């Protein structure tokens, strides 16, 4: 244990020991009979591991589909902080493990009216401590009475099996997030409604994501052509491309009234039409998705 951690631990122990003279310590933690963990969400776009803390709230570990493995811990409190509050996160042994060392994990700030959050590294440390049978515990002063101290602990009882399921879920998360598909540009072969190979891959990613999360509020589809052919023909070609994309979203379960399509024809180019590469950039459909 380093000097800073030792100092924090000494101060914390002194604070707890001094509580009876100045105030009280309220300790929220599930007992052996109450402790339960559940995998509340398990899909390729989100994994969610929850633990109820009686009379206080819920502890939540969340990992979502992304290019990088991510993890967030949220302390979902029944009563949100009434002011900005500093908290100390410790790993302490449960009553049935006397002699185990208490560890300092992190210093945190609770924002007013918001749940408490723990960043990625500290959240992983919490899971490691739970896996070893320890109790990650938050200590802070009551925002209604600074003399009263609060301890909020996560019990490791019944944790192991659900944690294995949580890790299995994380291993199956998609390697891209909603933000990666929320704005997508599809390009087409010359004089065709057929997508080029890369755009087919992009559309396949959207299809895979929507398979697990079809709850979209709005899909905007804007279709464009290059300048070859007459303007009237290009308007029809762009509208046909937009309609094909709309049909794709309908097939994925998106309600038709949530999909807006516009065929712009050869207007609004993003490149000039002097060579084949530039014309290919103009033959496009832009998809914008909101949740």
In terms of pTM, does the model score above 0.85?
Answer: no
For the stretch 78-136, pLDDT in tens is 999 989 999 999 999 998 887 889 999 999 999 999 999 999 999 999 999 999 999 99
For 10-52, what is each residue's pLDDT tens digit?
A: 444 444 434 444 568 899 999 999 999 999 999 999 999 999 9
What is the predicted pLDDT for the residue at 274?
62
With both helix axes pointing from N to C terminus, report the angle between 120-131 and 160-171 in degrees, rounded to the nearest 10: 140
Residues 263 and 242: beta-carbon distance below 8 Å: yes
Q: Which two tokens stand for residue 171?
A: 């291993």
Q: What is the pLDDT of residue 10?
A: 45
**What's the confidence (pLDDT) of residue 13?**
43
| 223 phi, psi to nearest 5 deg | -115, 145
Residue 119 and residue 106: Cα distance in Å, rounded? Answer: 10
Q: Locate 66 and state its tokens.
A: 């992304």
Residues 277 and 275: their CA atoms lie apart, in Å, by 6
Structure tokens at 11: 């101060």
71 versus 274: which is more confidently predicted?
71
C-alpha to C-alpha distance for 106 and 125, rounded to whole angstroms:
10
Of 125, 213, 209, give the one whose Cα is nearest residue 174. 209
Res 6: pLDDT: 47
Q: Could you tell me where the DSSP H helices lie in the chain?
A: 3-22, 120-131, 160-171, 178-182, 197-212, 231-251, 276-282
Between CA 77 and CA 166 the distance in angstroms is: 22
Phi, psi at residue 77, to the nearest 5°? -90, 145
CA–CA separation, 162 vs 50, rounded Å?
A: 9
Q: Residue 271: what pLDDT?
A: 59
Task: Grade residue 273 by pLDDT with cuts at 50, 70 and 90.
Answer: low
Enumerate domains of the chain plus CATH numbers.
3-171 (2.60.40.2540), 178-290 (3.30.1330.60)
């Amino acid at each position: 244990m380093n000097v800073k951690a030792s100092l924090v631990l000494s101060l914390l122990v002194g604070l707890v020991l001094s509580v009876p003279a100045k105030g009280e310590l309220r300790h929220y933690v599930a007992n052996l009979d109450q402790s339960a963990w559940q995998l509340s969400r398990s899909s390729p776009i989100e994994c969610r591991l929850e633990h109820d803390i009686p009379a206080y709230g819920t502890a939540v570990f969340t990992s979502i589909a992304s290019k990088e493995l991510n993890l967030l811990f949220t302390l979902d409190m029944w009563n949100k902080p009434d002011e900005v509050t500093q908290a100390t996160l410790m790993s302490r042994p449960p009553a049935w493990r006397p002699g185990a060392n208490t560890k300092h994990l992190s210093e945190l700030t609770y924002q007013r009216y918001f749940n408490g959050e723990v960043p990625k590294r500290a959240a992983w440390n919490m899971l490691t401590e739970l896996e070893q049978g320890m109790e990650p515990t938050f200590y802070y002063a009551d925002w209604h009475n600074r003399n009263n101290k609060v301890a909020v602990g996560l019990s490791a009882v019944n944790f192991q099996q659900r944690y294995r399921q949580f890790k299995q879920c994380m291993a199956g998360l998609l390697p891209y997030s909603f933000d990666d598909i929320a704005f997508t540009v599809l390009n087409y072969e010359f004089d065709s409604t057929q997508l080029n190979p890369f755009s087919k891959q992009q559309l396949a990613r959207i299809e895979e994501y929507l398979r697990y999360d079809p709850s979209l509020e709005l899909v905007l589809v804007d279709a464009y052509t290059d300048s070859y052919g007459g303007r009237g023909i290009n308007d029809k070609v762009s509208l046909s491309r937009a309609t094909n994309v709309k049909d794709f979203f309908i097939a994925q379960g998106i309600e038709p009234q949530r999909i807006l399509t516009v065929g712009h024809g050869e207007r609004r180019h993003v490149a000039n039409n002097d060579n084949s590469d530039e014309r290919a950039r103009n033959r496009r459909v832009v998809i914008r998705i909101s949740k």
